[in-house]
Amino acid sequence: MAMPYVSEEKKALSASVAKRRRKWQSYALLFILPSFILYALFVIVPTASSAYLSFTSWDGVSSDIRYIGFANFEEIWHSERVHNALKNTLLITAALVVLENVVAIALAMLVDNVRWLRNLFRTVFYFPVLLSGIVMGFIWNIILNYNFGVLNQLLAKIGLESIAIDWLGDPNYAMISIILSTVWKSAGYYMVIYLAGLQSIPADLSEAAAIDGANRWQQFRHVTLPLLAGAMTVCSVLSMIGSLKIFDQIAVMTDGGPGFATETLTYIIYKVGFSEMRQGFGTAMALVLFLLILIITVIQVKVLRKREVQL
Site residues for other proteins, 210-229, by CB under 8 A, read: 229
Interface positions, 118-147, toward other proteins (CB under 8 A)? 134, 141, 144-147
Q: Does the footprint of other proteins cover residue 273 (CB under 8 A)?
A: yes
Q: How far is the CB of 91 from other proteins (least distance, A)?
A: 17
What amino acid occupies position 4? Answer: P
Q: Does the footprint of other proteins cover residue 188 (CB under 8 A)?
A: no
Q: Which of 6, 61, 163, 211 binds other proteins (CB under 8 A)?
A: 61
d(C-alpha 75, C-alpha 89), whole Å: 19
Q: How far is the CB of 216 from other proteins (least distance, A)?
A: 23
Q: Which of 22, 23, 66, 221 binds other proteins (CB under 8 A)?
A: 66
Closer CB to other proteins, residue 27 or residue 274?
274
Q: Does the footprint of other proteins cover residue 65 (CB under 8 A)?
A: yes
Q: Which of 233, 239, 243, 249 binds other proteins (CB under 8 A)?
A: 233
Q: Which of 88, 197, 203, 218 binds other proteins (CB under 8 A)?
A: 197
Q: Does the footprint of other proteins cover residue 294 (CB under 8 A)?
A: yes
Closer CB to other proteins, residue 223 or residue 285?
285
Q: How many whole angstroms from its chain centre is CA 149?
A: 29
Interface positions, 235-254, toward other proteins (CB under 8 A)? 237-238, 241-242, 244-245, 247, 251-252, 254
Closer CB to other proteins, residue 145 or residue 184?
145
Span interacting with other proteins, options 6-14, 21-29, 75-83, 85-93, rule CB under 8 A: 75-83
